[in-house]
Amino acid sequence: MLRGLSNMQDAINSIFRRIPAWVIYLASFAYAGWLFWLGIDNQLGADPVKALEHKYGEAALYILIAGLAVSPLRRTFGINLLKFRRAIGLACFFFVVCHLLVWALLDVQRLDRVWADIVKRPYITVGMVAFALLLPLAVTSNNLSLRKMGAAAWGKLHKLVYPAAILAAVHYVMLVKGWQVRPLVFLAIILALIGWRYLSKLPARRAASRGMPSGPS
């Protein structure tokens, strides 16, 4: 049984090794463009601007969850998607920017109203804080920034993805009217993935505090 599981892991990893990371960029651009075309062609319902805005936001959340799942998949199931992590992060930010632009340019349409909404509407304030946390991560998601900052500082900066992810999910929960299940599921999954990362490191931290070797990570 263990051999069969190992063979399955090897087969899955072999498939992913053959897929270049740029496929994620191409798929993201294609999906965003397709959604935009549906909006132009009035195929997104009675309010295509709102629908497009929400679909871009949901796409960003799906991709954000995919990025958070990379480490659990590798450590728990042996599926290695590390080569895609940067592309996943940048694709997420791309959809966040699309979501923000549709809201600001097509929905609100006035700069003074954009600022007023950010200040007066708590769910927009929370969303903008999440965007502000993701911005430095997107800017530094390149080899040059990694070399200049050093691995330790770069790694600490990119831990901002955790509060950003929680805030993004809270933004979604606050956005909808009433307590709807879908946004709560997004929030629960994000909290579970972040919680898994913290709990998985507890044995190593306890071993380090006792001066004991923690074993392989």
The three-point CA angle 194-196-201 to 5° equals: 105
Chain-centroid distance of CA 206 in Å reads 30
The label of the residue with tokens 């979604």 reads 172
The three-point CA angle 117-121-122 to 5° equals: 135
170-192 tens-digit pLDDT: 999 999 877 789 999 999 999 99
pTM of the model as a whole: 0.89
Residue 211 main-chain phi, psi, to 5 deg: 75, 25
Tell me the domain boundaries of the chain. 2-199
Closest CA to 124 of 154, 85, 167: 167
Residues lower than pLDDT 70 in the chain: 1-5, 203-217
Q: What is the pLDDT of residue 211?
A: 61
Residue 180 main-chain phi, psi, to 5 deg: -90, 150
From CA 171, how far away is CA 100, in angstroms rounded?
13
131-184 tens-digit pLDDT: 999 999 999 999 999 999 999 999 999 999 999 999 999 999 999 877 789 999
